Structure 1
Amino acid sequence: MSSDTSVQNDTSGGQPDRLPNLVTIVGRGVPSNFEIAVDGKIEMIADDPVAEGTVVSGGVAEGAIEVGVQRFRFSGQMANVHVVDWNGVEMPDSAHTPEVHVDYGVSNR
Protein backbone atom coordinates (compact mmCIF):
# COMPACT_ATOMS: atom_id res chain seq x y z
CA MET A 1 0.00 0.00 0.00
CA SER A 2 1.39 3.38 -0.93
CA SER A 3 1.11 6.39 1.30
CA ASP A 4 -0.50 9.56 0.01
CA THR A 5 1.52 12.73 -0.32
CA SER A 6 -0.01 16.17 0.00
CA VAL A 7 0.69 18.79 -2.68
CA GLN A 8 1.49 21.47 -0.12
CA ASN A 9 4.00 21.30 2.71
CA ASP A 10 2.74 20.01 6.05
CA THR A 11 2.65 22.94 8.47
CA SER A 12 0.38 21.25 10.98
CA GLY A 13 3.07 20.80 13.62
CA GLY A 14 2.14 17.14 13.94
CA GLN A 15 -1.63 17.71 14.21
CA PRO A 16 -3.11 14.97 11.97
CA ASP A 17 -6.65 16.36 11.88
CA ARG A 18 -5.86 19.94 10.84
CA LEU A 19 -7.68 19.30 7.52
CA PRO A 20 -10.60 17.25 8.80
CA ASN A 21 -12.77 17.24 5.67
CA LEU A 22 -12.50 15.32 2.41
CA VAL A 23 -13.72 15.99 -1.13
CA THR A 24 -13.45 13.26 -3.76
CA ILE A 25 -13.75 13.81 -7.52
CA VAL A 26 -14.59 10.63 -9.50
CA GLY A 27 -14.08 10.67 -13.29
CA ARG A 28 -16.72 9.09 -15.52
CA GLY A 29 -14.59 8.34 -18.58
CA VAL A 30 -15.11 11.70 -20.29
CA PRO A 31 -12.57 14.54 -20.10
CA SER A 32 -13.96 17.09 -17.65
CA ASN A 33 -12.81 20.15 -15.74
CA PHE A 34 -13.44 20.98 -12.11
CA GLU A 35 -12.90 23.82 -9.68
CA ILE A 36 -13.53 23.45 -5.97
CA ALA A 37 -13.30 26.26 -3.45
CA VAL A 38 -13.40 26.14 0.34
CA ASP A 39 -13.43 28.89 2.95
CA GLY A 40 -10.37 27.36 4.63
CA LYS A 41 -7.30 25.61 3.29
CA ILE A 42 -7.23 22.77 0.73
CA GLU A 43 -4.54 20.23 -0.17
CA MET A 44 -4.51 17.51 -2.79
CA ILE A 45 -3.81 13.93 -1.74
CA ALA A 46 -1.86 12.02 -4.40
CA ASP A 47 1.01 9.57 -4.84
CA ASP A 48 2.41 11.86 -7.57
CA PRO A 49 0.69 15.27 -7.39
CA VAL A 50 2.65 16.68 -10.33
CA ALA A 51 1.36 13.93 -12.63
CA GLU A 52 -2.24 14.84 -11.77
CA GLY A 53 -1.87 18.31 -13.35
CA THR A 54 -4.07 19.94 -10.72
CA VAL A 55 -3.43 23.47 -9.44
CA VAL A 56 -3.95 24.06 -5.72
CA SER A 57 -3.66 27.54 -4.25
CA GLY A 58 -4.97 28.67 -0.87
CA GLY A 59 -8.60 27.57 -0.75
CA VAL A 60 -9.03 26.65 -4.43
CA ALA A 61 -8.18 23.58 -6.48
CA GLU A 62 -8.77 23.24 -10.21
CA GLY A 63 -7.89 20.63 -12.74
CA ALA A 64 -9.08 18.03 -15.20
CA ILE A 65 -10.13 14.42 -14.81
CA GLU A 66 -11.26 11.71 -17.19
CA VAL A 67 -11.02 8.47 -15.23
CA GLY A 68 -9.95 7.63 -11.71
CA VAL A 69 -10.22 9.53 -8.48
CA GLN A 70 -8.70 12.73 -7.13
CA ARG A 71 -8.95 13.52 -3.41
CA PHE A 72 -8.47 16.71 -1.45
CA ARG A 73 -8.41 17.36 2.30
CA PHE A 74 -9.67 20.73 3.49
CA SER A 75 -10.55 22.83 6.50
CA GLY A 76 -13.62 25.01 6.83
CA GLN A 77 -16.69 24.60 4.64
CA MET A 78 -17.14 23.86 0.94
CA ALA A 79 -17.76 27.23 -0.73
CA ASN A 80 -18.22 26.29 -4.40
CA VAL A 81 -18.01 23.35 -6.79
CA HIS A 82 -17.98 23.95 -10.54
CA VAL A 83 -17.78 20.92 -12.84
CA VAL A 84 -18.14 20.82 -16.65
CA ASP A 85 -17.78 18.07 -19.22
CA TRP A 86 -15.64 18.32 -22.36
CA ASN A 87 -18.45 20.25 -24.14
CA GLY A 88 -18.65 22.79 -21.32
CA VAL A 89 -21.98 21.42 -20.09
CA GLU A 90 -22.29 21.85 -16.33
CA MET A 91 -23.41 19.39 -13.72
CA PRO A 92 -26.23 18.35 -13.29
CA ASP A 93 -27.18 18.92 -16.95
CA SER A 94 -24.53 16.45 -18.16
CA ALA A 95 -24.48 12.79 -17.14
CA HIS A 96 -20.76 12.77 -17.95
CA THR A 97 -19.48 15.27 -15.41
CA PRO A 98 -17.48 13.74 -12.55
CA GLU A 99 -19.16 12.78 -9.31
CA VAL A 100 -18.26 14.99 -6.35
CA HIS A 101 -18.42 13.61 -2.80
CA VAL A 102 -17.90 15.84 0.25
CA ASP A 103 -17.35 14.32 3.70
CA TYR A 104 -16.96 16.37 6.87
CA GLY A 105 -15.05 15.23 9.95
CA VAL A 106 -13.08 12.41 8.31
CA SER A 107 -9.98 11.39 10.23
CA ASN A 108 -6.58 11.46 8.48
CA ARG A 109 -5.80 8.07 9.95
Structure 2
Amino acid sequence: MVRDTPVRNRTDSAADDSALPNLVTIVGRGVPSNFEVAVDGDLEMLADDPMAEGTVVAGSVAEGAIDVGVQRFRFSGQMANVSLVDWNGNEAPDSASVPTVHVEYGAPER
Protein backbone atom coordinates (compact mmCIF):
# COMPACT_ATOMS: atom_id res chain seq x y z
CA MET A 1 0.00 0.00 0.00
CA VAL A 2 1.31 3.42 -0.92
CA ARG A 3 0.60 6.45 1.22
CA ASP A 4 -0.14 9.87 -0.15
CA THR A 5 1.11 11.48 3.04
CA PRO A 6 4.15 10.05 4.82
CA VAL A 7 3.78 9.15 8.47
CA ARG A 8 5.99 11.30 10.65
CA ASN A 9 7.08 10.26 14.09
CA ARG A 10 8.80 11.75 17.11
CA THR A 11 12.25 10.88 15.81
CA ASP A 12 11.78 12.91 12.63
CA SER A 13 13.70 16.16 12.74
CA ALA A 14 10.94 17.78 10.68
CA ALA A 15 8.23 17.00 13.25
CA ASP A 16 6.83 20.16 14.79
CA ASP A 17 4.60 19.50 17.79
CA SER A 18 3.58 23.18 17.95
CA ALA A 19 1.75 22.62 14.64
CA LEU A 20 0.03 19.61 16.25
CA PRO A 21 -0.90 20.95 19.69
CA ASN A 22 -3.44 18.29 20.70
CA LEU A 23 -3.00 14.71 21.90
CA VAL A 24 -5.22 11.64 21.71
CA THR A 25 -4.23 8.51 23.65
CA ILE A 26 -5.67 5.03 23.10
CA VAL A 27 -5.20 2.69 26.10
CA GLY A 28 -5.69 -1.06 25.61
CA ARG A 29 -7.54 -3.08 28.23
CA GLY A 30 -6.01 -6.50 27.53
CA VAL A 31 -8.59 -7.54 24.94
CA PRO A 32 -7.88 -7.34 21.20
CA SER A 33 -9.81 -4.35 19.87
CA ASN A 34 -9.95 -2.13 16.82
CA PHE A 35 -10.06 1.65 16.75
CA GLU A 36 -10.43 4.46 14.26
CA VAL A 37 -9.65 8.08 15.07
CA ALA A 38 -10.54 10.95 12.74
CA VAL A 39 -9.72 14.63 13.16
CA ASP A 40 -10.50 17.69 11.06
CA GLY A 41 -6.82 18.68 10.83
CA ASP A 42 -3.49 16.89 10.56
CA LEU A 43 -2.70 13.70 12.48
CA GLU A 44 0.52 11.84 13.24
CA MET A 45 1.31 8.83 15.38
CA LEU A 46 3.96 9.11 18.07
CA ALA A 47 5.79 5.85 17.42
CA ASP A 48 9.08 4.76 15.95
CA ASP A 49 7.32 2.34 13.59
CA PRO A 50 3.53 2.76 13.21
CA MET A 51 3.28 -0.33 10.99
CA ALA A 52 4.84 -2.46 13.77
CA GLU A 53 2.06 -1.16 16.03
CA GLY A 54 -0.52 -2.39 13.52
CA THR A 55 -1.69 1.15 12.81
CA VAL A 56 -2.27 2.89 9.50
CA VAL A 57 -2.30 6.68 9.39
CA ALA A 58 -3.63 8.31 6.23
CA GLY A 59 -4.22 12.04 6.20
CA SER A 60 -6.46 12.87 9.14
CA VAL A 61 -7.49 9.28 10.01
CA ALA A 62 -5.73 6.56 12.00
CA GLU A 63 -6.96 2.97 12.08
CA GLY A 64 -5.46 0.13 14.04
CA ALA A 65 -5.64 -2.62 16.61
CA ILE A 66 -4.61 -2.68 20.25
CA ASP A 67 -4.89 -5.13 23.11
CA VAL A 68 -2.42 -3.88 25.72
CA GLY A 69 -0.30 -0.77 25.94
CA VAL A 70 -0.77 2.75 24.72
CA GLN A 71 -0.84 4.42 21.31
CA ARG A 72 -0.56 8.19 21.05
CA PHE A 73 -1.31 10.62 18.25
CA ARG A 74 -0.74 14.37 17.99
CA PHE A 75 -3.20 16.35 15.91
CA SER A 76 -4.33 19.80 14.90
CA GLY A 77 -7.93 20.95 14.71
CA GLN A 78 -10.75 19.16 16.49
CA MET A 79 -11.56 15.51 17.12
CA ALA A 80 -14.10 14.50 14.47
CA ASN A 81 -14.85 10.86 15.32
CA VAL A 82 -13.68 7.91 17.41
CA SER A 83 -14.85 4.37 16.72
CA LEU A 84 -14.00 1.46 19.07
CA VAL A 85 -14.95 -2.23 18.78
CA ASP A 86 -13.81 -5.27 20.76
CA TRP A 87 -12.79 -8.61 19.24
CA ASN A 88 -16.46 -9.68 19.05
CA GLY A 89 -17.40 -6.55 17.13
CA ASN A 90 -19.19 -4.99 20.10
CA GLU A 91 -18.96 -1.22 20.06
CA ALA A 92 -18.35 1.18 22.91
CA PRO A 93 -20.20 1.76 25.21
CA ASP A 94 -21.80 -1.71 24.90
CA SER A 95 -18.47 -3.42 25.69
CA ALA A 96 -16.38 -2.81 28.79
CA SER A 97 -13.41 -4.35 26.94
CA VAL A 98 -12.86 -1.64 24.34
CA PRO A 99 -9.87 0.68 24.84
CA THR A 100 -10.23 3.95 26.66
CA VAL A 101 -9.61 7.19 24.78
CA HIS A 102 -8.18 10.37 26.27
CA VAL A 103 -8.19 13.63 24.31
CA GLU A 104 -6.13 16.57 25.52
CA TYR A 105 -6.32 19.91 23.72
CA GLY A 106 -3.24 22.09 24.07
CA ALA A 107 -1.22 19.14 25.40
CA PRO A 108 2.36 19.93 26.37
CA GLU A 109 5.19 18.24 24.49
CA ARG A 110 6.51 15.16 26.24
TM-score bin (small chain): 0.7 to 0.9
Matching residue's letter, 1:38: V
What is the count of residue pairs matched by the alignment? 102
Give ranges in structure 2 of 5+ residues lacking alignment: 1-7
Calculate the aligned-residue CA RMSD, in Å: 1.8
Aligned partners of 1:10 and 1:18: how far apart in 2?
14
SS at match of 2:93: coil
Instruction: Determine if contact 1:53/1:63 at 8 Å carries over to the other structure.
Output: yes
User: Letter of the aligned partner of 1:31 in structure 2?
Assistant: P
Task: After the TM superposition, list the runs of 4 or more consecutive aligned residues in structure 1 that deviate by more than 6 angstroms.
Answer: none
My pick for the range that moved more, 59-68 or 43-52, is 43-52
1:25/1:100 contact within 8 Å kept: yes
| Corresponding residue for residue 25 of structure 1 | 26
Identity %, equivalent residues: 71
TM-score, length of structure 2 as denominator length: 0.85
TM-score (norm 1): 0.86
Structure 1: 5+ residue stretches without partners: none
